[in-house]
Amino acid sequence: MTPPPMLRHGTRARGACAAAVAVLTLAVSAAVAIPAQAAGSTLQEAAAQSGRYFGTAIAANRLSDSTYATIANREFNMITAENEMKMDATEPNQNQFNFTNGDRILNWALQNGKQVRGHALAWYSQQPGWMQRMEGSTLRSAMINHVTQVATHYKGKIYAWDVVNEAFADGSSGGRRDSNLERSGSDWIEVAFRTARAADPAAKLCYNDYNIDDWSHAKTQGVYRMVRDFKQRGVPIDCVGLQSHFNPQSPVPGNYQTTIESFAALGVDVQITELDIEGSGSAQAESYRKVTQACLNVARCTGITVWGVRDTDSWRASGTPLLFDGNGNKKAAYTSVLNTLNAATPNPTTPPPTSPTPTTPPPTSPTPTTPPPTSPTPTPPPTGACSAALTIANSWNGGYQATVTVSAGSSSLNGWRVTLPSGVTTNNLWNGVLSGSTVTNAPYNGSVGAGQSTTFGFIGQGSAPGAATLSCG
Ligand code: G3I
């Protein structure tokens, strides 16, 4: 079982944290501009105005409840399986996989035009009994097989995977939680991420945890150091999930936005993945407002998921922590979130750093019409020989998921730029920065070695184009 979240401890920010905070404002990027539109009347519509999603956790056995399914379909466009894609559900016996309930949720989501967050590939908790009894290299092999099989089963259909869940300890250590996975070798987390990337290259790969909402907590700092290390060493990680389970004893921290900004500054998306806030009335509504506004204030906070639909559906129903009451009525907290989303700036994105300045080039700029004849050095904007191929990973009525593979030729790329086919529209693109119909590399994937490739993906609106070779430079 997951221990109760929200243990508070007195660790205070360190000097290193202050330095990290100082560079935060340089790091906002990557949300996608969409046209301004009228106020959204649902959470998903309102969130989409700033290019974000609004999601919920779904339990397969509740989908037959029409009130539940109606609210879920109307309000949310990102779906997490509350339990059905976990290790015990998907591999109850070793190497015998059961995707029945996970598929039920996935198919319901895709058929209704929604995206899916996968939860969770590797976790110390909710392991099947056979895995709980494993240790060492046997467990390592079983974990790799599990990640491979599950991510492959859902390949191309998952927006983001919680690859590893809750691997850090509570309290003041800032270190890892003891578990059989941790004892198999502390590199188990990066092995899980590399394995997931190989199995499903289009999915964003997230580290997800609770009690990492307060920037001053040792646990937050421990996760921050791991993500920074992964980015520095090229371990494939795309996002951090802040579960964000709050209650009056452990309220939304005053430095919550600092936490979001700090992770985003590492070059990862931040997603609020399991939001619930115990309480009622205006106090609860205000807490929900704070969380929503903090996410809206950071371009790379790409979406919010609440952990259930109605209070009575919650894992902690007695705390009435959700946006709808047991009868499916909208609570004050719902109105607070909706209004906050609707008040958001339509486009939170700062201009991409590579945007040209058309009228006043710096005096030292080289003259673009007379390049030195012998200079082969690629500098941003990109100059390396580059090719790009678009494939459709998945499609449904009204939308599709596309993957674009960007490949370097015989020389390496130092930045790349791809032109999307005409008619493609998207408000959700990852591993790249969209401006008009042009996608440039994200800060972390512009360097592509000779003969190597990288990918970006997006959710397209309307009919899927055919597989195509795209212009790349
Ligand atoms: O389905 C069985 C039912 O047949 C049986 O009668 C009943 C008896 O206890 O148990 C039911 O299963 C329960 C399951 O939820 C479905 O309701 C499990 O006992 C119970 O342990 C399980 O709890 C889930 C919990 O994770 C387990 O760790 C919660 O639903 C789920 O909301 C919660 O989600 C976690 C995230 O995955 C990670 N972050 C924390 C979050 C809250 O704990």
> Percent helix, strand, coil in the chain (nearest 5)?
30, 25, 45
Q: What is the pTM of this model?
A: 0.71
The answer to whether residue 454 scores a pLDDT higher than 90 is no
The answer to whether residue 347 scores a pLDDT higher than 80 is no
CA distance 64 to 194: 37
Within 10 A of 264 (CB to CB), how many other CB atoms are there?
A: 23
At 431 the pLDDT is 65
Question: 315 C-alpha vs ligand 1 centroid, how far in Å?
Answer: 7
pLDDT-above-70 percentage for the chain: 81
The answer to whether residue 52 scores a pLDDT higher than 50 is yes
Does 274 qualify as catalytic in the annotation?
Answer: yes
At 375 the pLDDT is 35
What do you get for the CA distance between the two ends of the chain, in Å?
50
Q: Is the CB of 315 under 6 A from ligand 1?
A: yes
The residue with tokens 């983001």 is: 160
Band (138; pLDDT cuts 50, 70, 90): very high
**Sheet with strand 453-461: strands edge to edge:** 426-430, 453-461, 399-408, 386-396, 468-470
Q: Is the CB of 274 under 6 A from ligand 1?
A: yes
CA 192 to chain centre: 16
Span 31-39, mean pLDDT? 54
Q: DSSP assignment, residue 460?
A: E
Question: 412 C-alpha vs ligand 1 centroid, how far in Å?
Answer: 48
CA distances from 115 to 101, 248, 337 (A): 17, 32, 20
Band (8; pLDDT cuts 50, 70, 90): very low
Pick from 125-134, 203-212, 280-289, 408-417: least confident: 408-417
CB of 108 closer than 8 Å to CB of 63:
yes
Nearest to 55 by CA among 226, 281, 256, 302: 302
Question: 309 C-alpha vs ligand 1 centroid, how far in Å?
Answer: 15
Pick the catalytic residue: 182, 274, 278, 286?
274
Instruction: Name which residue leads in pLDDT, 176 or 10.
Output: 176
Q: Is the CB of 317 under 6 A from ligand 1?
A: no
The answer to whether residue 449 scores a pLDDT higher than 50 is yes
Instruction: Give the nearest ligand 1 atom to 120 CA.
Output: 37
Helix axes 256-264 and 281-296, enclosed angle (nearest 10): 20
Rama region for 279: left / alpha / beta (φ>0; ψ in -120 to 50; rest):
left
Q: What angle do CA 130, 135, 141 make, to 5 degrees?
A: 80
Work out the burial of residue 67: count CB atoms within 10 Å of its CB; fewer than 13 is exposed, 13-18 middle, 19 or more buried: middle
Interval 396-417: pLDDT, tens: 556 676 778 899 988 889 899 9
Band (392; pLDDT cuts 50, 70, 90): confident
